[in-house]
Amino acid sequence: MRVRLPGAMVGRILLVLICAVGLELLGNLALERWQQRELLSDQEIGQVAMKLTEAEAVALANHRRHRGERLQLMSQDNLSLNWVPRTVITDFGGSFEQLQELRRRIVRSAPALSSRELRLTLMPSAERGERDLVGALGIADGSFITFRLTPYLGAPPDPRLVIFLHLLLVAAVLAVALAMVRTLVRPLSNLAEAADRTSGGRASPIAIEGPAEVRRVATAFTAMQDRLFRAMDDQTQALIAVSHDLRTPIQRLRLRAALLRDEEARAAMSADLAEMESFIDATLSYFRDGEEEAARLIDVAALVVTLVDTAADLGDDIAYRGPDQLLVTARPVGIKRILTNLIDNARRHARRIEMTLGADGADYVIDVDDDGPGIAPERRAEALLPFRQLDAARAGGGAGIGLAAANKAVMAMGGSLLLRDGPLGGLGVRLTLPRQGPPSGGP
């Protein structure tokens, strides 16, 4: 059964405090006990009590002159007995609680002794540090049976050990308290981690747990996350819908343009429409995550060559350098989309394009280099953000989402995109992708 914890944070903190104080108290008591530990079991005390009863009977049965001898004969290894007419032993039971307790235990074992005078005291024993129990039992005729129990109490522990044990106790209590406090605040740190994980349009589920205050925060946080993602999703959907819907009027314009008699105007219009289409394609591919396509074994060299040949057939100055064959596990449509974006982008800013393919350990590398104006190093990070218009030199190409879309898609495939100075003097885009394919599960 689960223990019901107090709901509120204050209650839980109080619980931790009580536990810590209680533990410290119990620990102290135990340490105190341990320092004055008796070396006798109940059974041995019973034997002592029986021996004393026996000794009393023996003493009374014998003449005073022989009593000492007879009792000494009854001595055992740890208990010595004697008889004396009078004794100097005084009782310390009054000032030493442990002796009083012992007396009660002896009497409990041998009720016959309850009416007798029983003086108990402690004496240092021959063994270093230990202490013996010395006692005198008054018998019926006013004389005494004396006895000595060796040893009775263990040596008092080294004070340094005692201090060390106290410190250990404090440390243990602190550790327990710390563990409890950690458990107490874990829901909070979980919440913080969930907040950290929430990024890139990906919600991280948040467990509603812990004390009432934290549960309240977690609920509010989840609701906020939901609202944010819904708003983001709405905007994305709107953008996707607009892009999709633009295709139909573009389709109409394309066909209408074909009806124009003015050759020049027709060519210009076709070029404009082609550019619009490429923006729409780039925008749509930015929002598509490519998850719907399964990664499979493909010849990426054939794929790149196909794109290069197709672009060359359409009149681009584009060349391929690389092997005839390179087998990788990848999502072919996704890779095609990325490379088409990059080629479109290069075509817009440059005249000559070169695509290079190579294997590099567990990765394969595709370079798309052009001879255009390039992008200054300090602006490259910005160029990978969607809908950023860079400087005038590269302004020939609209919203500039192509690089952002390519970057996002490459990252979703477990690879990376690097902008650099290309060997042709323009921009060089280097894609590095794992040959074993995108990581399974999330991108």
Partner 1 sequence: MSETLSLEAQPVGAQSRAPALAHHIVVVDDDTGVRTLLTRILREYGYEVSAARDGAELRSIMAMGRIDLILLDIMLPGDNGIDLCRSIRERSRVPIIMISARGQESDRVAGLDVGADDYIAKPFGRSEVLARVRAVLRRMRDPHAPLDAPVPECFEFASWKYHARRRELIAPSGAEVDLTAAEQDLLLALLRHPQRMIGRERLLELSRSRVGSSTDRSIDVLVSRLRRKLGDGRKIRPLIRTVRGVGYMLAADVVVS
Judged by CB under 8 A, the residue of 1, 88, 126, 297 near partner 1 is 297
Total residues contacting partner 1 by CB under 8 A comes to 43
Interacting span for partner 1 (CB under 8 A) from 64-72, 233-241, 290-298, 419-427: 290-298
> Residue 13 or 305: which CB sits closer to partner 1?
305
Residues 123-142 that bind partner 1 (CB under 8 A): none
Under rule CB under 8 A, residue 217 binds partner 1? no
Under rule CB under 8 A, residue 240 binds partner 1? no
Interacting span for partner 1 (CB under 8 A) from 55-63, 68-76, 230-238, 303-311: 303-311
Residue 317, helix vs strand vs coil:
strand
Under rule CB under 8 A, residue 258 binds partner 1? yes
Under rule CB under 8 A, residue 299 binds partner 1? yes
Work out the angle at residue 110's Cα, subtended by the Cα atoms of residues 104 and 113, and round it to the nearest 5 degrees: 75
Under rule CB under 8 A, residue 319 binds partner 1? no
Residue 410, helix vs strand vs coil:
helix
Judged by CB under 8 A, the residue of 197, 230, 296, 321 near partner 1 is 296
Compute the distance between CA of residue 143 and CA of residue 136 in angstroms, rounded to an integer.
10
> Residue 430 or 435: which CB sits closer to partner 1?
435
Judged by CB under 8 A, the residue of 230, 256, 321, 351 near partner 1 is 256
Interacting span for partner 1 (CB under 8 A) from 30-38, 151-159, 241-249, 348-356: 241-249
Strand ranges in 52-200 using DSSP code E only, listed in sequence order: 79-84, 118-124, 131-138, 144-153
Judged by CB under 8 A, the residue of 67, 119, 131, 337 near partner 1 is 337
- Measured CA distances, 289 to 336, 404, 405, 406 (Å): 14, 13, 10, 11
DSSP assignment of 267-284 equals HHHHHHHHHHHHHHHHHH
Record the tokens describing residue 202, joined without a space: 């990906």
Least distance in angstroms from the C-beta of 246 to partner 1: 9
Compute the distance between CA of residue 310 and CA of residue 101 in angstroms, rounded to an integer.
104
Record the tokens describing residue 438, joined without a space: 């995108």
DSSP assignment of 81-134 equals EEEESS------TTT-HHHHHHHHHHHHH-GGGGGS-EEEEEEE-SSSS-EEEE
Under rule CB under 8 A, residue 247 binds partner 1? yes
DSSP state of 435: T
Judged by CB under 8 A, the residue of 66, 186, 197, 244 near partner 1 is 244
Cβ count within 10 A of residue 27: 17
Compute the distance between CA of residue 236 and CA of residue 203 in angstroms, rounded to an integer.
15
Under rule CB under 8 A, residue 314 binds partner 1? yes
Compute the distance between CA of residue 318 and CA of residue 310 in angstroms, rounded to an integer.
10
Residue ranges in contact with partner 1 by CB under 8 A: 244, 247-252, 254-261, 270, 273, 277, 281, 284-285, 288, 292-293, 296-299, 302-303, 305-306, 309-310, 313-314, 324-325, 327, 332-333, 336-337
